[in-house]
Structure 1
């Protein structure tokens, strides 16, 4: 599906609105659960969402191919079985929100548009929606309308809350990620045989606008040989967190045995939902350390261009007064620490003591050759310094 990026979909606003909605909902789920659920079946909400989105596109995003958009999304969500049942939102409402947010974003821009949307002309019998479902749709739209007012009143605070602080105490805005599972269908030109690849991704655009296919080397090679036209991408599900998307991938891989299934291009099966592995306390063997040493020796960490960019960036950095004070306090705290050498018994500042004492101490039973050499070089420099000082005084 081809979608123009400019002046068509407010992708960042859509992602931010979803993120704010889910955050707000998690704090107020008990208050609005009845309003959201509406005792409405999945197909009812799906039908409502489809009609309203169609109306919203006709009146807002005129360049979007409505039939293509609806067919792709409806097929994805109707066939998806992997959406987490433990999420705050059930399947029906989650589908409705993703549909409605496109239309509501522009439909509710004026009171007249809102009134027109809620009257009988829009949700009429001609749409195929029964009267009871129309009432539920109106309640749902009124809830979204009220929710938009809450957003507008707190928009500045909500935007500020999306700022993140990195480990250097620098603030920067980051677009929130949407996580989704997908399936690639590969068909070699001139052949009827199809093969599939299933994975998950996180992106800052809407999944339908995400142009990335896969990080798999096999898929990349197929794309290089035959072009992207031989690959078709289908969104299987959208998730609030990376953990949920990965759990869905694990379930999919386990059910279809993608590692041994000849119909799949996946060469391995995702078997864990863990992102980080705790190796605290593990000890590398001497053989492993030797291999790492051989591999890393002689390696240039930075290219000439990379070093030039790094130098330019570091030179242009500005350090605020608060940052300088924080660095000063940290240095003072380090310098205030006193330690005692276990070989000679001398006490001193921690950094200097580690330079000349402990394993580098003259009284250490097995001082390193490096420390002996450095100590002798320092002694020679001091002798030269004292000799020059005596000459100056004469």
Structure 2
């Protein structure tokens, strides 16, 4: 869905109010799930279930009167990786502006906007939040730029390096030894010989732990489907079609898979009337009597 961004401050305030109303409704829907369920959000996203959680958040300044010259900035929006419950995570952004204000005694309140299992999903949500509110140019936000990417890796395959870049790289590598020492080469050659052999007890313990993890079942809080916990955390939770934070990439993948399935089914289905002859209209057919010898 594309949003048309306006530069007027009043329009920006209206957009922000609509967005906050959406978040309140989303919170109400989440609370509608039964708190007695063993697979509620508290159990699903507990420290025992996942090692790292990703969440998007919004900071709001508590005492805006400390800002000089009637500064209209009030909010900051970002994302965070943590190993604890996001609602009690004592993290207040890595922004230099926010950190400087905190050291000066300015206090903020934090609101969690969404919780995710995978990092690209959290970044995708942050990209959408930033684009919708245009936080990089919005006068009420401390953000100095919009998040525009869900990854920080670059593929240079097929790119031709310029002579200038080759010369700079050559100068930087000048003087470095190109080959390993004799001891280093021997260590690399004998690496497999240094592998520690696990005892039978260790292998048995690892096997039992793996079977216990794979046999653990869970229920999706969005659609109610039940399945293996490890498999659900790997894909289903972030990409469930009923998840309000479902990334656009997952929806596109689902659409492509559906089109491929329809194409396969269309090829498998026989054409109507290809294997049988239709009787002439107005005539009836009857089984022929067996020939008598």
Task: State the TM-score, normalized to the length of structure 2.
Answer: 0.41
Which structure features the higher share of helix residues? 1
Name which one, 1 or 2, has greater alpha-carbon Rg.
Answer: 1
Higher relative contact order (CA 8 A, sep 6+): 2
